[in-house]
Protein backbone atom coordinates (compact mmCIF):
# COMPACT_ATOMS: atom_id res chain seq x y z
CA UNK A 1 0.00 0.00 0.00
CA UNK A 2 1.39 3.38 -0.97
CA UNK A 3 2.45 5.76 1.79
CA UNK A 4 -0.53 7.60 3.15
CA UNK A 5 -3.08 5.66 1.10
CA UNK A 6 -4.74 4.24 4.22
CA UNK A 7 -5.59 7.64 5.69
CA UNK A 8 -9.19 8.39 6.62
CA UNK A 9 -10.94 11.40 8.17
CA UNK A 10 -14.32 11.53 9.88
CA UNK A 11 -15.76 14.99 9.27
CA UNK A 12 -18.47 16.45 11.46
CA UNK A 13 -20.41 19.13 9.60
CA UNK A 14 -23.36 21.44 10.09
CA UNK A 15 -25.55 18.74 8.48
CA UNK A 16 -24.33 15.16 8.69
CA UNK A 17 -21.23 13.07 9.30
CA UNK A 18 -18.92 12.39 6.36
CA UNK A 19 -16.03 10.02 5.75
CA UNK A 20 -13.11 10.98 3.52
CA UNK A 21 -10.70 8.27 2.38
CA UNK A 22 -7.43 8.93 0.60
CA UNK A 23 -7.25 7.41 -2.87
CA UNK A 24 -3.84 8.10 -4.35
CA UNK A 25 -3.60 11.82 -4.97
CA UNK A 26 -7.30 12.46 -4.29
CA UNK A 27 -9.84 11.94 -1.51
CA UNK A 28 -13.19 10.16 -1.84
CA UNK A 29 -15.95 11.42 0.44
CA UNK A 30 -19.28 9.85 1.37
CA UNK A 31 -22.09 10.64 3.76
CA UNK A 32 -22.17 8.34 6.79
CA UNK A 33 -25.49 9.64 8.05
CA UNK A 34 -26.93 11.80 10.84
CA UNK A 35 -28.36 14.37 8.46
CA UNK A 36 -31.20 16.32 10.06
CA UNK A 37 -29.78 15.92 13.58
CA UNK A 38 -28.24 19.38 13.61
CA UNK A 39 -24.51 20.03 13.82
CA UNK A 40 -22.42 16.85 14.13
CA UNK A 41 -19.47 17.26 16.48
CA UNK A 42 -16.49 15.19 17.60
CA UNK A 43 -16.96 11.80 15.97
CA UNK A 44 -15.00 9.29 18.05
CA UNK A 45 -13.59 5.98 16.85
CA UNK A 46 -13.87 3.53 19.74
CA UNK A 47 -10.47 2.57 21.15
CA UNK A 48 -11.54 -1.05 21.67
CA UNK A 49 -13.48 -1.68 18.44
CA UNK A 50 -12.71 0.57 15.44
CA UNK A 51 -16.03 -0.41 13.83
CA UNK A 52 -17.82 1.31 16.71
CA UNK A 53 -18.29 5.06 16.24
CA UNK A 54 -19.76 7.74 18.47
CA UNK A 55 -20.94 11.19 17.48
CA UNK A 56 -22.67 14.09 19.20
CA UNK A 57 -25.32 16.23 17.54
CA UNK A 58 -26.78 19.62 18.35
CA UNK A 59 -30.45 18.61 18.10
CA UNK A 60 -30.78 14.89 18.83
CA UNK A 61 -28.04 14.10 21.33
CA UNK A 62 -25.60 11.17 21.14
CA UNK A 63 -25.45 8.42 18.53
CA UNK A 64 -23.49 5.17 18.19
CA UNK A 65 -22.75 2.98 15.19
CA UNK A 66 -21.57 -0.63 15.49
CA UNK A 67 -20.87 -1.06 11.76
CA UNK A 68 -18.56 1.76 10.80
CA UNK A 69 -21.33 4.28 10.21
CA UNK A 70 -23.73 2.22 8.08
CA UNK A 71 -26.44 2.39 10.74
CA UNK A 72 -26.85 4.57 13.84
CA UNK A 73 -28.59 4.20 17.20
CA UNK A 74 -29.54 7.04 19.52
CA UNK A 75 -27.86 6.61 22.93
CA UNK A 76 -29.23 9.29 25.23
CA UNK A 77 -30.16 7.29 28.33
CA UNK A 78 -29.18 9.51 31.26
CA UNK A 79 -28.26 12.54 29.13
CA UNK A 80 -30.46 15.47 30.18
CA UNK A 81 -29.59 17.87 27.35
CA UNK A 82 -29.48 16.87 23.70
CA UNK A 83 -27.37 19.80 22.50
CA UNK A 84 -23.98 18.06 22.40
CA UNK A 85 -20.83 20.15 22.01
CA UNK A 86 -18.00 17.73 22.84
CA UNK A 87 -17.25 14.02 23.05
CA UNK A 88 -14.07 12.30 24.28
CA UNK A 89 -13.04 8.77 25.18
CA UNK A 90 -10.32 7.53 27.52
CA UNK A 91 -8.37 5.15 25.25
CA UNK A 92 -7.40 2.88 28.16
CA UNK A 93 -10.57 2.66 30.24
CA UNK A 94 -12.95 3.30 27.27
CA UNK A 95 -15.00 5.70 29.42
CA UNK A 96 -16.93 8.27 27.39
CA UNK A 97 -17.37 11.90 28.39
CA UNK A 98 -19.95 14.17 26.75
CA UNK A 99 -20.15 17.95 27.13
CA UNK A 100 -23.48 19.70 26.57
CA UNK A 101 -25.37 22.98 26.55
CA UNK A 102 -26.38 23.92 29.23
CA UNK A 103 -22.81 23.39 30.46
CA UNK A 104 -22.76 19.88 31.91
CA UNK A 105 -20.67 16.72 31.54
CA UNK A 106 -22.11 13.22 31.29
CA UNK A 107 -20.07 10.02 31.64
CA UNK A 108 -20.59 6.48 30.37
CA UNK A 109 -18.70 3.41 31.57
CA UNK A 110 -20.57 0.96 29.33
CA UNK A 111 -19.96 2.14 25.80
CA UNK A 112 -22.82 4.60 25.75
CA UNK A 113 -25.57 2.24 26.89
CA UNK A 114 -26.22 4.71 29.70
CA UNK A 115 -24.76 7.96 31.01
CA UNK A 116 -24.55 9.59 34.43
CA UNK A 117 -24.21 13.31 35.00
CA UNK A 118 -21.08 14.64 36.71
CA UNK A 119 -23.33 16.62 39.00
CA UNK A 120 -20.67 18.42 41.04
CA UNK A 121 -19.62 20.40 37.98
CA UNK A 122 -22.85 22.38 38.11
CA UNK A 123 -22.40 22.90 41.87
CA UNK A 124 -19.35 25.11 41.34
CA UNK A 125 -20.07 28.60 42.68
CA UNK A 126 -18.56 30.22 39.59
CA UNK A 127 -21.16 28.70 37.26
CA UNK A 128 -23.37 31.71 37.96
CA UNK A 129 -20.85 33.71 35.91
CA UNK A 130 -20.87 31.35 32.93
CA UNK A 131 -22.63 32.74 29.89
CA UNK A 132 -22.59 32.98 26.09
CA UNK A 133 -22.85 36.12 23.93
CA UNK A 134 -25.82 34.98 21.85
CA UNK A 135 -29.33 34.58 23.31
CA UNK A 136 -30.33 32.75 25.45
CA UNK A 137 -26.80 33.36 26.83
CA UNK A 138 -26.34 29.76 28.00
CA UNK A 139 -22.79 28.40 28.28
CA UNK A 140 -21.64 25.00 27.01
CA UNK A 141 -18.73 22.59 27.47
CA UNK A 142 -17.11 23.15 24.09
CA UNK A 143 -14.22 20.69 24.42
CA UNK A 144 -13.11 17.82 26.69
CA UNK A 145 -9.64 16.33 27.15
CA UNK A 146 -9.09 12.89 28.69
CA UNK A 147 -5.58 11.46 28.73
CA UNK A 148 -4.45 8.02 29.93
CA UNK A 149 -1.13 9.62 30.84
CA UNK A 150 -2.82 11.30 33.83
CA UNK A 151 -5.25 8.77 35.34
CA UNK A 152 -8.40 10.36 36.68
CA UNK A 153 -7.88 13.73 35.05
CA UNK A 154 -10.57 15.30 32.89
CA UNK A 155 -10.24 18.83 31.51
CA UNK A 156 -12.94 20.89 29.87
CA UNK A 157 -13.18 24.20 28.02
CA UNK A 158 -16.34 26.17 28.77
CA UNK A 159 -17.66 28.71 26.28
CA UNK A 160 -17.85 30.98 28.13
CA UNK A 161 -16.61 30.06 31.59
CA UNK A 162 -12.83 29.50 31.56
CA UNK A 163 -11.53 25.92 32.08
CA UNK A 164 -12.66 23.12 34.38
CA UNK A 165 -10.66 20.22 35.80
CA UNK A 166 -11.38 16.94 37.60
CA UNK A 167 -8.72 14.67 39.09
CA UNK A 168 -11.07 11.80 39.97
CA UNK A 169 -12.76 10.81 36.71
CA UNK A 170 -15.39 13.53 36.85
CA UNK A 171 -16.52 13.18 40.46
CA UNK A 172 -15.21 16.53 41.76
CA UNK A 173 -14.33 19.66 39.78
CA UNK A 174 -12.57 22.98 40.05
CA UNK A 175 -13.00 26.01 37.80
CA UNK A 176 -9.66 27.37 36.55
CA UNK A 177 -10.13 31.11 36.15
CA UNK A 178 -6.65 32.63 36.61
CA UNK A 179 -4.53 33.54 33.58
CA UNK A 180 -6.81 31.80 31.07
CA UNK A 181 -9.45 33.27 28.81
CA UNK A 182 -13.11 33.38 29.82
CA UNK A 183 -14.05 32.47 26.23
CA UNK A 184 -12.27 29.09 26.19
CA UNK A 185 -12.49 26.88 23.09
CA UNK A 186 -10.28 23.81 23.59
CA UNK A 187 -7.94 22.17 26.08
CA UNK A 188 -5.41 19.57 24.95
CA UNK A 189 -2.77 17.50 26.78
CA UNK A 190 0.58 16.74 25.13
CA UNK A 191 0.83 12.95 24.48
CA UNK A 192 3.30 11.39 26.90
CA UNK A 193 3.74 14.70 28.74
CA UNK A 194 0.51 15.15 30.73
CA UNK A 195 1.83 18.12 32.68
CA UNK A 196 2.04 20.08 29.42
CA UNK A 197 -1.47 21.29 28.54
CA UNK A 198 -2.60 23.73 25.85
CA UNK A 199 -5.73 25.83 25.55
CA UNK A 200 -7.16 27.87 22.69
CA UNK A 201 -9.74 30.59 23.08
CA UNK A 202 -11.49 33.47 21.44
CA UNK A 203 -8.60 35.69 22.53
CA UNK A 204 -5.53 33.58 21.87
CA UNK A 205 -3.42 30.69 23.12
CA UNK A 206 -2.40 29.56 26.62
CA UNK A 207 0.10 27.03 28.00
CA UNK A 208 0.42 25.13 31.27
CA UNK A 209 3.38 23.06 32.46
CA UNK A 210 1.80 21.75 35.68
CA UNK A 211 -1.14 19.78 34.35
CA UNK A 212 -3.46 22.74 34.00
CA UNK A 213 -3.09 24.21 37.49
CA UNK A 214 -1.45 27.45 36.35
CA UNK A 215 -1.35 29.06 32.90
CA UNK A 216 0.38 31.70 30.84
CA UNK A 217 -0.60 33.41 27.61
CA UNK A 218 1.64 32.55 24.63
CA UNK A 219 0.93 34.70 21.58
CA UNK A 220 4.32 35.24 19.91
CA UNK A 221 3.75 34.93 16.15
CA UNK A 222 -0.05 34.66 16.36
CA UNK A 223 -1.64 37.58 14.52
CA UNK A 224 -5.16 36.06 14.62
CA UNK A 225 -6.77 35.34 17.98
CA UNK A 226 -10.10 33.53 17.45
CA UNK A 227 -8.69 30.02 17.59
CA UNK A 228 -9.69 26.45 16.84
CA UNK A 229 -8.12 23.16 17.98
CA UNK A 230 -4.43 22.42 18.38
CA UNK A 231 -3.13 19.32 16.59
CA UNK A 232 -0.21 17.70 18.46
CA UNK A 233 2.21 15.15 17.05
CA UNK A 234 2.69 12.09 19.31
CA UNK A 235 5.92 11.40 17.40
CA UNK A 236 7.24 14.95 17.91
CA UNK A 237 5.40 16.42 20.91
CA UNK A 238 7.11 19.77 20.45
CA UNK A 239 5.35 20.14 17.07
CA UNK A 240 1.90 21.78 17.01
CA UNK A 241 -0.46 23.04 14.33
CA UNK A 242 -3.45 25.31 14.76
CA UNK A 243 -5.57 27.87 12.91
CA UNK A 244 -7.47 31.01 13.80
CA UNK A 245 -9.79 33.66 12.46
CA UNK A 246 -8.98 37.34 12.76
CA UNK A 247 -12.42 38.10 14.23
CA UNK A 248 -15.24 36.25 16.06
CA UNK A 249 -18.19 34.73 14.12
CA UNK A 250 -20.25 37.93 13.71
CA UNK A 251 -17.37 39.34 11.68
CA UNK A 252 -17.27 36.37 9.31
CA UNK A 253 -20.06 38.04 7.32
CA UNK A 254 -17.70 40.86 6.33
CA UNK A 255 -16.55 40.99 2.68
CA UNK A 256 -13.15 39.78 3.87
CA UNK A 257 -14.79 37.08 5.95
CA UNK A 258 -12.78 35.47 8.74
CA UNK A 259 -9.40 36.60 7.32
CA UNK A 260 -8.03 33.35 8.75
CA UNK A 261 -4.52 31.97 9.15
CA UNK A 262 -2.83 28.60 9.78
CA UNK A 263 0.14 28.25 12.14
CA UNK A 264 2.92 25.89 13.21
CA UNK A 265 4.92 25.79 16.44
CA UNK A 266 8.09 23.78 16.95
CA UNK A 267 8.44 24.50 20.67
CA UNK A 268 5.06 23.45 22.14
CA UNK A 269 3.46 26.80 21.48
CA UNK A 270 6.03 29.11 23.00
CA UNK A 271 6.16 30.80 19.60
CA UNK A 272 4.33 30.39 16.30
CA UNK A 273 4.98 30.76 12.58
CA UNK A 274 2.23 31.69 10.13
CA UNK A 275 2.08 29.26 7.18
CA UNK A 276 1.54 30.69 3.71
CA UNK A 277 2.65 28.11 1.14
CA UNK A 278 -0.21 27.18 -1.21
CA UNK A 279 -2.73 29.32 0.65
CA UNK A 280 -4.59 32.32 -0.80
CA UNK A 281 -3.57 35.73 0.46
CA UNK A 282 -7.05 36.10 1.98
CA UNK A 283 -8.78 33.10 3.57
CA UNK A 284 -12.40 34.18 3.94
CA UNK A 285 -13.65 30.91 5.48
CA UNK A 286 -13.09 30.29 9.20
CA UNK A 287 -11.15 27.27 10.49
CA UNK A 288 -13.22 24.97 12.71
CA UNK A 289 -11.19 21.78 13.09
CA UNK A 290 -7.64 20.43 12.88
CA UNK A 291 -6.24 16.90 12.84
CA UNK A 292 -2.82 15.28 12.49
CA UNK A 293 -1.56 11.93 11.24
CA UNK A 294 -0.15 10.43 14.47
CA UNK A 295 2.31 8.36 12.45
CA UNK A 296 3.62 11.22 10.32
CA UNK A 297 4.25 14.60 11.99
CA UNK A 298 4.47 16.28 8.59
CA UNK A 299 0.82 15.54 7.72
CA UNK A 300 -2.04 17.62 9.12
CA UNK A 301 -5.48 18.89 8.10
CA UNK A 302 -7.63 21.97 8.67
CA UNK A 303 -11.40 21.99 8.10
CA UNK A 304 -13.23 25.19 7.18
CA UNK A 305 -16.70 26.71 7.40
CA UNK A 306 -16.98 26.70 3.58
CA UNK A 307 -16.98 22.87 3.56
CA UNK A 308 -13.36 22.48 2.50
CA UNK A 309 -10.43 20.62 4.07
CA UNK A 310 -6.83 21.70 3.58
CA UNK A 311 -3.90 19.28 3.91
CA UNK A 312 -0.14 19.55 4.24
CA UNK A 313 2.31 16.69 3.78
CA UNK A 314 5.47 18.69 4.46
CA UNK A 315 4.92 20.15 7.89
CA UNK A 316 3.07 23.18 6.59
CA UNK A 317 5.60 24.39 4.04
CA UNK A 318 2.81 23.95 1.51
CA UNK A 319 -0.91 23.29 1.83
CA UNK A 320 -3.50 22.17 -0.69
CA UNK A 321 -7.27 21.97 -0.70
CA UNK A 322 -8.09 18.25 -0.86
CA UNK A 323 -11.84 18.24 -0.07
CA UNK A 324 -14.54 20.71 -1.13
CA UNK A 325 -18.30 20.87 -1.35
CA UNK A 326 -19.27 19.58 2.10
CA UNK A 327 -21.60 21.37 4.48
CA UNK A 328 -19.63 23.62 6.83
CA UNK A 329 -16.96 21.58 8.59
CA UNK A 330 -17.02 21.59 12.41
CA UNK A 331 -14.57 18.92 13.60
CA UNK A 332 -12.08 16.43 12.12
CA UNK A 333 -11.11 12.97 13.44
CA UNK A 334 -8.18 11.26 11.76
CA UNK A 335 -7.54 7.52 11.57
CA UNK A 336 -5.72 4.89 9.56
CA UNK A 337 -7.94 2.29 7.99
Q: What is the pLDDT of residue 2?
A: 41
Task: Answer yes or no: are the C-beta atoms of 143 and 185 closer than 8 Å.
Answer: yes
**Rounded (10°) CA dihedral 315, 316, 320, 322:** 50
Q: Please give the DSSP secondary-structure letter assigned to residue 293.
A: -
Q: How many angstroms separate the most distant Cα atoms in the chain?
A: 55
Task: Answer yes or no: are the C-beta atoms of 164 and 172 closer than 8 Å.
Answer: no
Q: What is the pLDDT of residue 301?
A: 98
Q: What is the pLDDT along the chain (337 residues), one digit of tens a residue?
A: 345 578 999 999 999 999 999 998 899 999 999 999 999 999 999 999 999 999 999 999 999 999 999 999 999 999 999 999 999 999 999 999 999 999 999 999 999 999 999 999 999 999 999 999 999 999 999 999 998 899 999 999 999 999 999 999 999 999 999 999 999 999 999 999 999 999 999 999 999 999 999 999 999 999 999 999 999 999 999 999 999 999 999 999 999 999 999 999 999 999 999 999 999 999 999 999 999 999 999 999 999 999 999 999 999 999 999 999 999 999 999 998 7
CA distance 128 to 122: 9
Residue 184's Cβ-side half-sphere holds a number of Cα atoms within 13 Å equal to 33
Q: What is the pLDDT of residue 24?
A: 86
How far apart, in Å, do the first and last CA atoms of the chain sit? 11
Task: Answer yes or no: are the C-beta atoms of 201 and 183 closer than 8 Å.
Answer: yes
Over residues 30-58, the pLDDT tens digits come to 999 999 999 999 999 999 999 999 999 99
Q: What is the pLDDT of residue 6?
A: 87
Sign for the pseudo-dihedral over CA of 23, 27, 28, 34: positive
State the pTM of this model: 0.95
Amino acid sequence: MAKGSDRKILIGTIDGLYEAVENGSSWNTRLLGLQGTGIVRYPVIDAEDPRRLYAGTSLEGMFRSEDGGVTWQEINRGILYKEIFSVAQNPKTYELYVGTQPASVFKSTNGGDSFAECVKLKQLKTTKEWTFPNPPHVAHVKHIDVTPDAPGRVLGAVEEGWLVRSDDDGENWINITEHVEFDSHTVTSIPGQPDHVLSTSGQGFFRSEDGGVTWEESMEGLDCRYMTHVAVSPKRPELLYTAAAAVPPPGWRRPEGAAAAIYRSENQGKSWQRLRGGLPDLITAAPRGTAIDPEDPEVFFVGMTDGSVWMSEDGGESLKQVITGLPGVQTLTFSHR
